Structure 1
Amino acid sequence: MEFSDFQLKPFLLDAISRLNFKEPTDIQKQIIPTILAGKSVIGQSQTGTGKSHSFLLPLIHAIDPAKDEVQVVITSPSRELAEQLYQTAIQLVAEAPDEIRIVNYVGGTDKKRQIAKLASHQPHIVIGTPGRIVDLINEQALKVYTATKMVIDEADMTLDLGFLFDVDQIAGRLPENIQMLVFSATIPENLKPFLKKYMANPSIIQLKPEHIIAPSIDNYLLSTKGQPKIDVLYQVLKMGQPYLALIFANTKQNVDEIAEGLRARGIKTAVLHGDVPARERKRIMKRVHNMEYQFMVATDLAARGIDIEGVSHVINYEVPKDMEFFVHRTGRTGRGNLKGTAITLYSPEEEKIIDELEAYGVIFKPITIEKDQLVETYERKRRELRSAPKNQDPDHRIKGMVNKAKKNVKPGYKRKLKQEIQSQQKRKHRAGQNRMKSR
């Protein structure tokens, strides 16, 4: 299938060609024709699958530039994600024969100026954070009641950050027959009442990834072996020569402590978490894009709101409690078929969490540090697997034979028992080796 098969307007096909997109991704193949057909959609997909273009292309295709009114409203839970969507949309309309007005409304910008501009022209496409869009609606400056389509991007994150009420306020101002498009990595229970309220019979498109971790990512596991984690992290960063490394921790306090520890060791480090003021976040992101920082320490929710090009390394300083966060973290690298490296540091007390990740389907390559180099090592549970046959109790059949042997029932019975036990031990040993190979 090619993009031309969707019969999009010529200027959109030209934009796709300039972006060097060869063929649609799996999610684009399913979602673009569904949106073009006017259906509401609930889309679930892994990060980095081309989701943004899957809804922007058909929505822009449907815009009527002759109408001076809002036709599409797109909400995003963070300023960074909203800016990313805005820039993507601007790329697509750059060569449109008639102007398609797209405006990005986010907090921390000049609201009075925005209200003044809205007095003369309404945008065709509204992109922004829920709070600022609601503010402009309540000021009676932004007139969204003419919109026929609404997108809620990163719906689960919108819920996590407490913005679903604002999104509900926006949706409530739109026509009843609105085409609603909801995109989310997961569909939490608390999100379902909202979906039921605004979506009567949506098309549910759920793309389960072939790989939990993309094949373009080397997913390594490094034991700290009781050493201070900050020292191990410092060694890894000095050896890895990353183009840009994102380092994840579970709390804002830990992010600050890690950054302080790295700075004390001479590593210039950026910080991103919920307590960083909006203006400072914008300044940091600009400096990251300008490659003034090679290292950034972040929390999960803060980093889910960014999409930085060129992330070569993701370091899990702490193992996340939520499996979805692990997938989102590693998905920051290895994008666009570029190679990426993910390294998870774990201490002995985090063994259980690693077990849970592996049970979830995450496959690690164990590594160790030798002579200032990261080298692949053995299966971390090799001792346990090797000793398992010796430690396991004989099965019920052998137990019975043992009881009989104690009574000297028949001549040669002990020899037969010994042979049976040895045979079973060999089978279990082979099974253990097979498990090791399959990991």
Structure 2
Amino acid sequence: MTFERFKFKPEIQAALDDIGFVTPTPVQEKLIPVVLSGRDVVGESKTGSGKTHTFLLPIFEQLDPQKNEVQAIITAPSRELATQIYQASQQVAKFFDDEVRVVNYVGGTDKQRQLDKLKLAQPHIVIGTPGRIEDMIQSGELLVHKTKTFVVDEADMTLDMGFLDTVDRIAGRLGQEVQILVFSATIPQKLQPFLKKYLHQPLMEKIKTETVIADTIDNWLISTKGRDKNQEILAILKTMQPYLAMIFANTKTRADELHHFLVANGLKVAKIHGDMPPRERKRIMNQVKNLDYQYIVATDLAARGIDIEGVSHVINDAIPQDLSFFVHRVGRTGRNGLSGIAITLYQPSDDSDIRELEKMGIRFVPKVLKNGQIEDTYDRDRRANREKTKEKLDTEMLGLVKKKKKKIKPGYKKKIQWAVNEKRRKENRAKRRAQGRAERKAKKQTF
């Protein structure tokens, strides 16, 4: 099927043709008709699944540019996410003959200038971070009481970052008939009170996917046991020669350290994390999009929803502390049908986290960097798997054997040895008795 089945306005179809969108993604195919019907929606779908256009296209379809009023509000938990939605909306708005006023209200921008513009005309679509949008409403200049659609994008991240109370207050300013759309990669339990408070009989839809990460991504696992991680990452980058690589660190301190090391070794590397001033982050993002950098070191701020075009490789300096971010990190590559490679560095202490990721349906291919090449290597579980084929001792015997191996007094060792031998003798006697009973029973049956 194609987008033509939705029978959008000619302007929207022209925008889709220009962007190159032909076939809707599963979340778009399932939810666009529901959003167009006016029903409240809670859409749960993985990152990179096309959630943004699932709500943007219906908003533009129902928009009336002749009205001088706010018709849709979209909140996002970070400046970068809001800016990405804003840019996506501009791609559609430019095809309308009548001006469609779209604004992006985020921190780090000129608030007074935005307020002055509101005195001239109201925007049709408001996009931004919850705090700045609330400020504009409280000023009395942004009039939202006629808003038809309210979108909460990346709701789980909004909750994690402590912005849900602000979103709650914005929702409280809207009319009773407003359509509310909540989109997220996950729907945590703590989000339920908000959903019950504002949404009326919503469609709760979880878009299932065959794989947790895209089929276009090769997901590799490389052990750093006994090796310097900085040197390992440098060697991987020089070996792979990526078109554009994102390297994720768990902390800002680690991101700073890794960035400094790579720059000192002659690589042109960008850095993105939460301590950077908004204008600096915006400048870096623009440079990244212009391909001024081949490498980006980032914290998880950049993992959620930011679509940097052309990322060929993702490297996880470490497994994220919040395992749900693993999918968001890896999802920065392999987008729009292009192939990508995700590499995760790990140590033996990470084994339990890797197993948890595997339970989520994520599959790893073990690799090793050897002689300047990435090669296949043994699975990290090969020893454990081999042990499973051996005869298993029962719990009591295993405990006795382990005690025997400890460094203890010689006299106690003899007692342990005697206990082990005694247990074996008893088991052998029990087996012989059972065998004897079976033989006698067989003789009786023959007579």
Question: Which stretch shifts more, 372-381 or 258-267?
Answer: 258-267
- Residues 402 and 267 (structure 1), Cα distance of their counterparts in 2 relative to 1, 3 Å cut: farther
Measured after TM superposition, the shift of residue 118 of structure 1 is 0.8
Measured after TM superposition, the shift of residue 359 of structure 1 is 2.5
Measured after TM superposition, the shift of residue 113 of structure 1 is 1.3
Once residues 388 and 38 of structure 1 are traced to their aligned partners in structure 2, the CA distance between those partners, rounded to angstroms, is: 57
Once residues 408 and 201 of structure 1 are traced to their aligned partners in structure 2, the CA distance between those partners, rounded to angstroms, is: 66
Once residues 169 and 297 of structure 2 are traced to their aligned partners in structure 1, the CA distance between those partners, rounded to angstroms, is: 34
Once residues 333 and 375 of structure 1 are traced to their aligned partners in structure 2, the CA distance between those partners, rounded to angstroms, is: 21
The code of the aligned residue for 1:375 comes to E
Asked whether 1:254 is paired with 2:265, we answer no
Measured after TM superposition, the shift of residue 140 of structure 1 is 1.0
Counterpart contact for 1:226–1:348, Cα < 8 Å: no
Measured after TM superposition, the shift of residue 15 of structure 1 is 1.3
Asked whether 1:192 is paired with 2:192, we answer yes
Measured after TM superposition, the shift of residue 82 of structure 1 is 1.1
Q: Write the mapping of 1:39-438 to structure 2, written as runs, cut at 5 A.
A: 39-304=39-304, 306-390=306-390, 392-393=392-393, 405-406=428-429, 409=432
Measured after TM superposition, the shift of residue 259 of structure 1 is 1.3
Superposed CA deviations along residues 45-77 of structure 1, whole A, max 9, x for unmatched, are: 011111111111111100111111111111111
Once residues 37 and 340 of structure 2 are traced to their aligned partners in structure 1, the CA distance between those partners, rounded to angstroms, is: 37
- Three-state SS of the structure 1 residue aligned to 2:297 is strand
Once residues 2 and 388 of structure 1 are traced to their aligned partners in structure 2, the CA distance between those partners, rounded to angstroms, is: 51
- Three-state SS of the structure 2 residue aligned to 1:144 is coil
Once residues 46 and 119 of structure 2 are traced to their aligned partners in structure 1, the CA distance between those partners, rounded to angstroms, is: 40
Once residues 409 and 101 of structure 1 are traced to their aligned partners in structure 2, the CA distance between those partners, rounded to angstroms, is: 90
Counterpart contact for 2:105–2:129, Cα < 8 Å: yes
Once residues 54 and 111 of structure 1 are traced to their aligned partners in structure 2, the CA distance between those partners, rounded to angstroms, is: 30
The code of the aligned residue for 1:248 comes to F
Once residues 371 and 122 of structure 1 are traced to their aligned partners in structure 2, the CA distance between those partners, rounded to angstroms, is: 62
- Three-state SS of the structure 2 residue aligned to 1:335 is coil
Match of 1:427 in 2: none
Question: Which stretch shifts more, 256-265 or 199-208?
Answer: 256-265
Question: Which stretch shifts more, 163-172 or 43-52?
Answer: 163-172
Match of 2:400 in 1: none
Counterpart contact for 2:47–2:304, Cα < 8 Å: no
Measured after TM superposition, the shift of residue 392 of structure 1 is 2.2
- Residues 408 and 77 (structure 1), Cα distance of their counterparts in 2 relative to 1, 3 Å cut: closer
Question: Which stretch shifts more, 304-313 or 325-334?
Answer: 304-313
Unaligned stretches of 5+ residues in structure 1: 414-439
Once residues 185 and 174 of structure 1 are traced to their aligned partners in structure 2, the CA distance between those partners, rounded to angstroms, is: 25
Once residues 35 and 105 of structure 1 are traced to their aligned partners in structure 2, the CA distance between those partners, rounded to angstroms, is: 24
Asked whether 1:2 is paired with 2:36, we answer no
Structural RMSD (CA): 2.2
Counterpart contact for 1:154–1:183, Cα < 8 Å: yes
Give percent identity, aligned residues only. Answer: 53
Which runs of at least 4 in structure 1 moved beyond 6 Å after TM superposition?
none
Unaligned stretches of 5+ residues in structure 2: 397-422, 437-447
Measured after TM superposition, the shift of residue 229 of structure 1 is 1.0
Counterpart contact for 1:79–1:305, Cα < 8 Å: no
- Residues 85 and 408 (structure 1), Cα distance of their counterparts in 2 relative to 1, 3 Å cut: closer
- Three-state SS of the structure 2 residue aligned to 1:334 is coil
Asked whether 1:23 is paired with 2:35, we answer no
The code of the aligned residue for 1:53 comes to H
Question: Which stretch shifts more, 259-268 or 244-253?
Answer: 259-268
Once residues 211 and 150 of structure 1 are traced to their aligned partners in structure 2, the CA distance between those partners, rounded to angstroms, is: 30
Once residues 90 and 234 of structure 1 are traced to their aligned partners in structure 2, the CA distance between those partners, rounded to angstroms, is: 38
Counterpart contact for 2:48–2:305, Cα < 8 Å: no
Superposed CA deviations along residues 95-118 of structure 1, whole A, max 9, x for unmatched, are: 213222211111111111111111
TM-score normalised by structure 2 residue count: 0.87
Once residues 327 and 281 of structure 1 are traced to their aligned partners in structure 2, the CA distance between those partners, rounded to angstroms, is: 23
Once residues 402 and 10 of structure 1 are traced to their aligned partners in structure 2, the CA distance between those partners, rounded to angstroms, is: 87
Once residues 16 and 366 of structure 2 are traced to their aligned partners in structure 1, the CA distance between those partners, rounded to angstroms, is: 40
Measured after TM superposition, the shift of residue 264 of structure 1 is 2.5
Once residues 402 and 127 of structure 1 are traced to their aligned partners in structure 2, the CA distance between those partners, rounded to angstroms, is: 78
Measured after TM superposition, the shift of residue 200 of structure 1 is 2.3
- Three-state SS of the structure 2 residue aligned to 1:369 is strand
- Number of residue pairs matched by the alignment: 410
Once residues 83 and 253 of structure 1 are traced to their aligned partners in structure 2, the CA distance between those partners, rounded to angstroms, is: 26
Once residues 26 and 340 of structure 2 are traced to their aligned partners in structure 1, the CA distance between those partners, rounded to angstroms, is: 21
Measured after TM superposition, the shift of residue 268 of structure 1 is 2.4
The code of the aligned residue for 1:292 comes to D
Asked whether 1:37 is paired with 2:19, we answer no
Match of 2:441 in 1: none
- Residues 102 and 376 (structure 1), Cα distance of their counterparts in 2 relative to 1, 3 Å cut: same
TM-score normalised by structure 1 residue count: 0.89
Question: Which stretch shifts more, 297-306 or 142-151?
Answer: 297-306
Once residues 378 and 209 of structure 1 are traced to their aligned partners in structure 2, the CA distance between those partners, rounded to angstroms, is: 29
Measured after TM superposition, the shift of residue 88 of structure 1 is 0.9
- Three-state SS of the structure 1 residue aligned to 2:127 is strand
Once residues 271 and 262 of structure 2 are traced to their aligned partners in structure 1, the CA distance between those partners, rounded to angstroms, is: 11
- Three-state SS of the structure 1 residue aligned to 2:132 is helix
- Residues 49 and 131 (structure 1), Cα distance of their counterparts in 2 relative to 1, 3 Å cut: same
- Three-state SS of the structure 2 residue aligned to 1:344 is strand
Measured after TM superposition, the shift of residue 405 of structure 1 is 4.3
Once residues 317 and 170 of structure 1 are traced to their aligned partners in structure 2, the CA distance between those partners, rounded to angstroms, is: 38
Once residues 366 and 80 of structure 1 are traced to their aligned partners in structure 2, the CA distance between those partners, rounded to angstroms, is: 34
Measured after TM superposition, the shift of residue 391 of structure 1 is 5.5
Match of 2:407 in 1: none
Match of 1:435 in 2: none
Once residues 333 and 25 of structure 1 are traced to their aligned partners in structure 2, the CA distance between those partners, rounded to angstroms, is: 17
Counterpart contact for 2:47–2:305, Cα < 8 Å: no
Once residues 407 and 305 of structure 1 are traced to their aligned partners in structure 2, the CA distance between those partners, rounded to angstroms, is: 65
Question: Which stretch shifts more, 251-260 or 32-41?
Answer: 251-260
- Three-state SS of the structure 1 residue aligned to 2:55 is helix
Once residues 307 and 357 of structure 1 are traced to their aligned partners in structure 2, the CA distance between those partners, rounded to angstroms, is: 23
